Amino acid sequence: MGYQGATPLEQSIGTVLAPVFALSGAVVVSGFFFPSFVGANISGHVWLIISLVFFGSGLGYIAVIPGENDEDRDSEHTASYLLRIRRLTWSDTVRQFLANQDRVTFGVPVVVFALFFLVQYVVPEQTNVAVSAVQTFLLQDIGWLFLGAMFLAVLYCLFLLLGPWGEIRLGGPDTEPDYTYPTYFSLVFTAGIAAGIVFWGPAEALYHYGNPPPYFGAEPQSTVAIGAALTYSLFHWGISAWSAYTVIGLPIAYFVYERGAPLRVSTILTPFLGVDGLDSLWSRVVDMLAIFATIGGIATSIALVSQQFLAGIDYQWGVSAGALGPILFVGGLTLIYVLSATTGVRRGIRRIASLNVVLFALFALLIAGLGPLGFIVERGTGAVASYAVNFVPMSLYMGADWVANWTVWNWSWWFSWAPFAGLFLAALSRGRKVRTVVLTGVVATSAATIAWFLLLGGTSLFLQHSGTADILGAIADRGGSVAVASFPLFATFPMDQLLIFLFLALIVVFITTSADTSTLVVAVLARRRGQSPTTGSIVFWGFFQGTIAVSALVVGGAETLQALAVMTGGPFAVLSLVALAGLTLTFRREEGGHTSPIRRLWERVPTVEVHHDVEPPQDD
């Protein structure tokens, strides 16, 4: 049994993928220079397959390249060890697969997802009505729960940044981080944001421009609506979203590295159940909910980005992939992220995340250079200022259905992703100070996200408001599908074909970096306590997620599945409060003696002594 190293099979795969990448790349590049030839001679299905082969072979080759031997770097008592993948023979994998799974966390999600799609297929209308009723209750009747929990999460992260507990080093004062900081940031950022950032980046501000948030009282498509639209885009994707991940991830990290608790989402219950009590039914229910949320969130994201990728191909080359196109896309994408996940964090997952950040930065620079930079800087500066000034009242604003449909929905979505993103953040954070974890998991990631939404959202608003492009009209022409929003925007630039190509690459790479990580996390959660996942369990859960995405497309339950995933945000909004209460009690009891940066700064201020050298006047 071995860990992590490139197997002979992977080396053979790499040998095959290199020429496949070169040949398919030549076809794809030719298509960009001669789009009329492609549209006339290659069908939509063939062009989609060629595109997927190009992206998949490139990412696959990056994943399977042999790297440095990291087998001895991790102790068997660290979370990094538990993220490593055990490589068994095929016979051992089949024989031990079910025996090594936790019967509750493995069996219940598989059965429930199967039953859901069966019921969705048999009685779709009744299923949608039931799910819609529950969602309405969560978002409208108890929306205050999401608003309050998210606001407390932000305040708690702020306190950790400025307070004495930020000095705590996870794993002890002499523990060194497992990853360099650029790698650490890349993994945290790309796993947590998924393809939503490319899907909504050019579109959300446009929606708010056409239907302004009632908090600002702006007229639709007015100059005032521009600032309101940008402000709320930053609000929905900024520090609040990332704080939800951090308040779940930090308690897991602390109790894993300081108490020897297992790398599971249920570890947040350690202050109440103790480490030995984490095998209880309550713990299994928490981990089971985490699996539901993760698979539902990733599967619906895959289904959504498939529409965006296919819209890009149709827009660029005028070829339609038809009803089979989304299935082909999801199938090809599943092969890509399963291969990446099986190579582990230190190889495929890390490398593709780094590539993701490079492409992200390159694309942002191109938009800044080609787009209306003056408009973006002017409006963006105002939006950031408005975001800061109005953050507290917007966080507590509960008026109108608009808030339930946008803000509360977004908060529930972020909380539903918090168990997966938080657990991965915890696994990466050994050797980091609590303050560094918050700076990375909230501040740095939010800064990158805000910059993206200002660039893409500001550009789309400029084009729409000035009449240069009718992006809202293009969305309306496609039945309100936001998937097409990016491509009329890029068509106005002189380097439109390059931008579309890079954007399609970003779609694939972003969803891959989330899907391969989620596959690994679910495999960890479904295993028996203390066991790292095997290649077989990674492959099973990777294809299970892909099957759920395909089922959502075929049965027509993508929106219902997304609603179900969002529903898990309710329990995790409550659990985030439980996690913070437990962590606070533990810190107060066991982590005294730390000094806050504000206190250290105050102590460095020199003391000014006042001397009274003037003698008082003497009486005559």
Average pLDDT taken over every residue of the chain? 84
Structure tokens at 182: 């650029």
Give a yes or no: residue 62 inside a domain. Answer: no
Summarised one tens digit per residue, pLDDT across range 225-272 is 999 999 999 999 999 999 999 999 999 999 999 998 999 999 999 999
If one compares 38 and 99, the residue with the highest pLDDT of the two is 99
* pTM of the shown model: 0.89
Whether 11 maps to a domain, the answer reads no
**Bridge partners (DSSP) listed for residue 547:** none
Question: How do residues 387-409 score in pLDDT, each as one tens digit?
Answer: 999 999 999 998 778 999 899 99
Q: Is the pLDDT of residue 578 over 80?
A: yes
Alpha-helical segments (H) within 34-43 = 35-41
Reported as a single tens digit per residue, the pLDDT across 459-502 is: 999 999 999 988 888 888 877 777 788 888 888 888 887 888 88
Domain count, the chain: 1
Residue closest to 392 by CA, chosen among 144, 209, 154: 154
Q: Which of the four pLDDT bands, split at 50, 70 and 90, describes residue 77? A: very low
**Is the Cβ–Cβ distance between 439 and 161 less than 8 Å?**
yes
The whole-number average pLDDT for the span 356-369 is 92
What is the percentage of the chain residues whose pLDDT exceeds 90? Answer: 40
Kindly tell me if the per-residue pLDDT of 139 is higher than 90. no
Under the banding of pLDDT at 50, 70 and 90, the label for residue 79 is very low
Q: How high is the pLDDT of residue 557?
A: 58
Measure the CA–CA gap between 576 and 518, rounded to whole angstroms.
20
- Res 2: pLDDT: 44
In this predicted structure, what is the pLDDT of residue 90? 64
Asked whether residue 595 is assigned to any structural domain, the reply reads no
- The pLDDT value recorded for residue 458 is 94
d(CA 93, CA 238): 42
* Exposed/middle/buried for residue 119 (C-beta within 10 Å: 0-12, 13-18, 19+): middle
- Residue 581 pLDDT: 95
DSSP designation for 97: T
For residue 620, pLDDT beyond 70: no
**Mean of the pLDDT values across residues 357-385?**
93
Asked whether residue 25 is domain-assigned, the answer is no
CATH of residue 156's domain is: 1.20.1740
Interatomic CA distance for residues 458 and 448, integer angstroms = 15
In a domain, 71, yes or no: no
Residue 99 domain boundaries: 2-6+76-552+560-587
* Cα distance between residue 125 and residue 67, in whole Å: 51
Residues listed for the chain: 620
**Token code pair at residue 538:** 């990674």
| Stretch 72-90: mean pLDDT | 55
Whether residue 53 is contained in a domain is answered as: no
For the ranges 132-141, 287-296, 466-475, 597-606, which has the lowest average pLDDT?
597-606
257 vs 513: CA distance, rounded Å: 25
pLDDT at res. 573:
92
Please say if the pLDDT value at position 614 is more than 60.
no
For residues 359-387, give the mean pLDDT. 93
SS3 433: strand
Neighbours of 228 (CB within 10 A): 23
Do 115 and 564 touch, CB atoms closer than 8 A?
no
Residue 31 lies in a domain: no
pLDDT tens per residue, range 417-445 = 999 999 999 999 999 999 999 999 999 99
Is 36 within the bounds of a domain?
no
Q: Is the Cα torsion angle 216, 220, 222, 227 positive or negative in sign?
A: positive
Give the single-character DSSP code of 347: I
